[in-house]
Structure 1
Amino acid sequence: MHYTMQTSVDGEFDAVVDATVDALEDEGFGVLCDIDVRETLKQKLDEEFRSYRILGACNPTLAHQALEEELGLGALLPCNVVVYETDDDEVAVRAVDPERLVGVADNPALDSVASEVHGRFERVLAAVEAGSY
């Protein structure tokens, strides 16, 4: 089962993270949290790990619409976008597929919001893919 939308690019990791944040902002998303998994695992477990960031993205208008329909949906927010180094020396950007995510709520009233977020994430990934790093 595919649960993310994704692309991979050649480039410098931090530049791809910055481009991803910029593309999210262009689509009306703010990054509410930015988790540096590599640093966290080093600090907490003294383990080495690839560069890996989790960006918690939220579009307030769309989140509000969704929460009006399903209060419990907050347990699935914000929508995560991950950026990480691949084994092929590329940088992957993956966004949760909002249509799959919202599907667990089994509430057809959320379909239009999920579709809107899906379209915006497609444009985010296309913008990252089109960039030069």
Structure 2
Amino acid sequence: MRYDRTVHLDTDFATTVERVREALAEQGFGILTEIDVTATLKAKLDHDMEDYVILGACNPPLAHRALEVDRSIGLLLPCNVVVRSDGAGTVVQALAPNTMVALTELDALRPVAEEATQRLDAALTSLTTTDVTT
């Protein structure tokens, strides 16, 4: 089972992060958390790596619906979106919302996961019209 939704872009890291924030906002997602993996690994382990950030995206109405089905679903929230450098371009990856259904085996989460997938795919597609991996 694939657990990611991925696009490859020919834009620099900083531009991509800003575009991802805007694309997610247009689909009703806010960014609750941001983890600068590159800076963290440098500070804690003195390890150098490519630009890599994890954005914790949340669509409050969808999160509320999911939590009404299963309070433990918070373990899978917010939806993580990774932006990372990849050669001259960038990669944007989002956790596939259907992962919630697969892991919990709760069919009642399916409508939430389907709507979240539509919204995330719309955000990713707005970044580029090619290379959306399902």
TM-score (norm 1): 0.94
Q: Which SS does the other structure have where 1:122 is aligned?
A: helix
1:19-76 Cα shifts (integer Å, max 9, x gaps): 0010000000000001110000010101101000000000001000000000100011
2:98 maps to amino acid: E
Residue of structure 2 in register with 1:8 after alignment: 8
Deviation, structure 1 residue 94 = 0.4
1:51-110 Cα shifts (integer Å, max 9, x gaps): 000000000010000000001000110010000011x42200000000123321111110
C-alpha distance in 2, partners of 1:91/1:24?
Answer: 17
The change in CA–CA distance for 1:90 and 1:101 in structure 2 (over 3 A counts) is: farther
Q: Tell which deviates more after alignment, 101-110 or 35-44.
A: 101-110
Q: Which SS does the other structure have where 1:104 is aligned?
A: helix
Residue of structure 2 in register with 1:28 after alignment: 28
CA RMSD of aligned residues (A): 1.0
> Do 2:83 and 2:90's aligned partners in 1 also have CA atoms closer than 8 Å?
yes
Structure 2: runs of 5 or more not aligned: 130-134
C-alpha distance in 1, partners of 2:92/2:9?
Answer: 8
Q: Which aligned runs of 4 or more in structure 1 are off by greater than 3 angstroms?
A: none
> Do 2:55 and 2:80's aligned partners in 1 also have CA atoms closer than 8 Å?
yes
Q: Tell me the matched-pair count.
A: 129
Residue of structure 2 in register with 1:81 after alignment: 81
Q: Which SS does the other structure have where 2:33 is aligned?
A: strand
C-alpha distance in 1, partners of 2:112/2:36?
Answer: 29
Q: Which SS does the other structure have where 1:73 is aligned?
A: helix
C-alpha distance in 1, partners of 2:100/2:12?
Answer: 30
C-alpha distance in 2, partners of 1:107/1:99?
Answer: 11
Structure 1: runs of 5 or more not aligned: none
> Do 1:38 and 1:48's aligned partners in 2 also have CA atoms closer than 8 Å?
yes
TM-score (norm 2): 0.93
> Do 1:31 and 1:55's aligned partners in 2 also have CA atoms closer than 8 Å?
yes
- Give the alignment of 1:61-76 within 5 angstroms: 61-76=61-76
1:117 maps to amino acid: A
